[in-house]
Amino acid sequence: MCSALNANEYTPPLRRVGKGAGSERPDPDSLRRRFHLSSSSNPASTAQKAPTPSQPSPNYFATALIIVVCVIAATLILRLTPLSKAWQQGYDPTGHWFLSTLVAAIPVVVLLGTLAFGHVKAHYAALAGLAAALLTAIFGFHMPARLAGSAAIFGIGYGLFPIGWIILNVIFMYQLTVASGRFTVLQHSLTGITKDRRLQLLLIAFCFGAFFEGAAGFGTPVAVTAALLIGLGFKPLQASGLSLIANTAPVAFGGLGIPIVALAKVTGISEMALGAMAGRILAPFCVLVPFWLIWAFAGFGGMIEVWPAILVAGISFVIPQVLISNFMGPWLVNVIAAVVSMICLTLFLMVWHPKKTWKFKGQEEEEQAEVASGRVQQTYSRGEIARAWIPWVVLSVLVFAWGTQMCKDAMNSPETVFRSTASWSTKPSQITNPQFPVTTLHNLVERVQPVVTKATKEPAVYGLNWLSATGTSILIAAIISGFIMGQGFGTIVSIFFHTLIKVRFSLITIAAMLAIGTLTRYSGLDATMGLAFARTGHLYPFFGTMLGWLGVALTGSDTSSNVLFGSLQKITAQQVNVSPVLMSAANSAGGVMGKMIDAQSIVVASTATQWYGHEGEILRYVFWHSLALAVLVGILVFMMAYVYPITQLVVH
């Protein structure tokens, strides 16, 4: 186990408060002025002293010029004449599977190597990885250049929307609460539940994060929980790394079960069977991850001091998780389990308190100094606390509503829900959910055996579901919350554009990383690496699980990994006489542990914690946690495949 983050070495700044209740309330106008006039007044600045690396000063002309050049280049590539017939992927271009695997791994090595060991900023590392992916696809795997360019552009578009759209609006929402002063009140209310930093971490990163994973997924839980933790005084590395570790066990049922639904489509196995199997594989880890999380933060001794609370959080999560996944399906697993866990943990903390309250170094001295100097701790009324939570309640409600199938249908295909609109000359779905086939790529790449049972053309349609996108629900929640918090329209717009400038490099990074993931998929690079895992024979249950881990690390999504490797898992399982249901579900279950090391999630975390430029440090910290947990999942799957009576847990 990696050593704990040095939680006790952090000293938050003194917080001066007035003596009267009225004078103690934060002044929204002064906060707004400070927010706009000082580039250093980030959300973390009021609660922690860790230095925020300065990003280059905005050069609007250069930024606009680069955007124009990129748009022109993308337009020219997409306007090229499509190929006359589909290009078939080749998974062994060198004639030696081991050498082909090494060639296929070049983009991953370049990306992660420059990020983790080269101390290169994330956007430069991502662009270097993209260049390596293009060269490898074109010259190593003989992919036509126009297909490679089109695949990269397709990935860039997906990186900006919906992934980048989520990140931008989560940070926007957070900035609004900071500028209004409401986040200070929210911090106080959380310390009212518990002042112990370990338990705050457990409640926010694990319980609250699992809810957002279940309702939305796609980076939302890391963005929200990392921002909350940084505001509570956690160091950037703590807030980033620990949010990533916490966002593991719930991932298989994220976004209202999308990963399992996608896995069912590519394997032909029922959603109920796959959901039940994934729930059984992940059950021990729903209890283990909370313990692992606090161990990583506070060390083994610090974890033992609060084991009853951790156990309550884990057990109250895993029981509904197993029951719902086995008897109701994969759709509401995380949402219900997270709500039950939050309620149980909160109620438990009302009657149980650890003998020692874990605080950051210097926090106790600060409180003693306040008492000695006659200063009083800030107090807020129940009404003020309720108003501070309103933005996050609005966010939770809208994100959940947007994720339901009923709302998706109403927004993506209004004519199927509102029959009167079906006669319109322009179908409403063409407005709310326009689909744009990438003509230079769509159905022009063919996956072949042994990755699929028969030759399958890869579609490439960019869906601009601007209304039903999770990021849109977050934007609406932010605007509503801004007005509720008393901010004017001009202030809200100003903060939005300030946020856009703040996250510009993060958006570039995510776009480039999604381009890498998309290009490796269409060129067959990732399938080549996957086939190497499939050569392990009777050890395949272990290595097949690790293949899911690799898939998420490469694509940044459990859903994408399931689509990519689901069919391969089923085919290989049948060849080695192992349950296809087990190995298909193992792809998703192993993949959840790769979520913390995928470059996309790391950039989301660094952006949310205002720690852009330190992605390499975050990766180096979480990598061994990710690998160790993935190995444990692999061992469990191996035992389910061969060791009686554990084999009885396999769904048939």
CA 223/CA 163 separation, integer angstroms:
11
Least confident of 147-156, 305-314, 552-561, 590-599: 552-561
Query: What's the full length of the chain, in residues?
Result: 652
Report pLDDT digits (tens) over 141-185. Answer: 999 999 999 999 999 998 898 878 887 888 898 889 888 988 888
Please provide the average confidence, as pLDDT, over all residues in the chain.
85
Order of strands across the sheet that contains 87-88: 87-88, 445-447, 456-457
Q: Nearest-5° angle of CA 31, CA 33, CA 36? A: 105
Tokens representing residue 118 in the block: 């080269």
- Mean pLDDT on 386-413: 87
CA 570/CA 578 separation, integer angstroms:
9
Q: What percent of the chain has pLDDT over 90?
A: 52
Nearest residue to 10 via CA among 302, 234, 270: 234
Res. 349: pLDDT tops 90 = yes
Q: What pLDDT does residue 174 have? A: 85
* Contact assessment for residue 570 and residue 584, using Cβ atoms and an 8 Å cutoff: yes
* Contact assessment for residue 309 and residue 349, using Cβ atoms and an 8 Å cutoff: yes
Other CB atoms within a 10 A radius of the CB of residue 216 amount to 28
Least confident of 61-70, 221-230, 413-422, 604-613: 61-70
- Mean pLDDT on 93-104: 95
**Which helix or strand (DSSP H or E) is residue 92 part of?**
none
Q: What pLDDT does residue 289 have? A: 97
Res. 231: pLDDT tops 60 = yes
Q: What is the DSSP secondary structure assignment for residue 650, as one 8-state letter?
A: S
β-bridge mates for residue 435, sequence order: 463
Q: Where are the domains of the chain?
A: 57-359+378-649
Report pLDDT digits (tens) over 444-456. Answer: 999 998 888 889 9
Q: What pLDDT does residue 14 have? A: 33
Least confident of 40-49, 345-354, 379-388, 622-631: 40-49
Report pLDDT digits (tens) over 511-537. Answer: 888 898 889 889 999 889 888 988 998
* Contact assessment for residue 422 and residue 413, using Cβ atoms and an 8 Å cutoff: no
Res. 35: pLDDT tops 70 = no
For residue 107, with 0-12 CB atoms within 10 Å meaning exposed, 13-18 middle and 19 or more buried, which class applies? buried
Res. 315: pLDDT tops 90 = yes
Q: How confident is the model at residue 10 (pLDDT cuts 50, 70, 90)?
A: very low
Report pLDDT digits (tens) over 132-142. Answer: 999 999 999 99
Q: What pLDDT does residue 51 have? A: 40
Res. 314: pLDDT tops 70 = yes
Give the residue with greater pLDDT, 299 vs 24.
299
Res. 434: pLDDT tops 90 = yes
Give the residue with greater pLDDT, 623 vs 53.
623
